[in-house]
């Protein structure tokens, strides 16, 4: 929040050897709208597009997160996320997610910030 605080706590929090990196080729769907999901993801490398009913609503770059909504409220995926370049992602299940929030409040803030950015974008459509 203050300038002295980490600008991307998520990236640092997830950069650990016990969190393996998955490689995803361009064109692959990493999350599919309507599907059940139990993981959230950090994009370490590459770019991805977030689509709701086929319409692009956001582009995500390195350090961005996605899939956090289904992890927070156990509903189905609210959007499809497609790799538009070759990507490297880190997956977080519920247990790791809670643990990271406990270990790093700034990771929690990063997740909140990502949600707020999306909400503001949605509000502009009303």
Other Cβ atoms less than 10 A from the Cβ of 39: the count is: 18
Contacts of 96 (CB under 8 A, 6+ apart): 19
Binding to its own copies by residue 35, rule CB under 8 A? no
Please report, as residue ranges, which positions from 36 to 95 form the binding site for its own copies (by CB under 8 A). Answer: 52-53, 55, 57, 68-69, 72-75, 78-79, 94
Structural contact between residues 24 and 75, judged by C-beta atoms closer than 8 angstroms:
no
Which segment (6-14, 19-27, 59-67, 100-108) binds its own copies by CB under 8 A? Answer: 100-108
Q: What is the C-alpha to C-alpha distance for residues 66 and 68, in angstroms, rounded to an integer?
A: 5
Contact residues for its own copies (CB under 8 A)?
Answer: 1, 52-53, 55, 57, 68-69, 72-75, 78-79, 94, 98, 101-102, 105, 108-109, 111-113, 115-120, 122-123, 125-126
């Amino acid at each position: 929040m203050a300038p002295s605080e980490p600008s991307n706590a998520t990236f640092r929090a997830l950069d650990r050897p016990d969190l393996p990196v998955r490689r995803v080729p361009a064109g692959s769907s990493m999350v599919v709208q309507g599907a059940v999901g139990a993981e959230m993801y950090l994009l370490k490398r590459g770019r991805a597009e977030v689509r709701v009913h086929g319409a692009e609503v956001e582009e995500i770059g390195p350090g961005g997160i996605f899939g956090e909504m289904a992890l927070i409220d156990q509903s189905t995926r609210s959007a499809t996320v497609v790799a538009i370049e070759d990507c490297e992602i880190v997956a977080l299940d519920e247990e790791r997610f809670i643990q990271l929030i406990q270990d790093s409040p700034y990771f929690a803030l990063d997740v909140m910030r990502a949600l707020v950015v999306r909400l503001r974008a949605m509000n502009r459509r009303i």
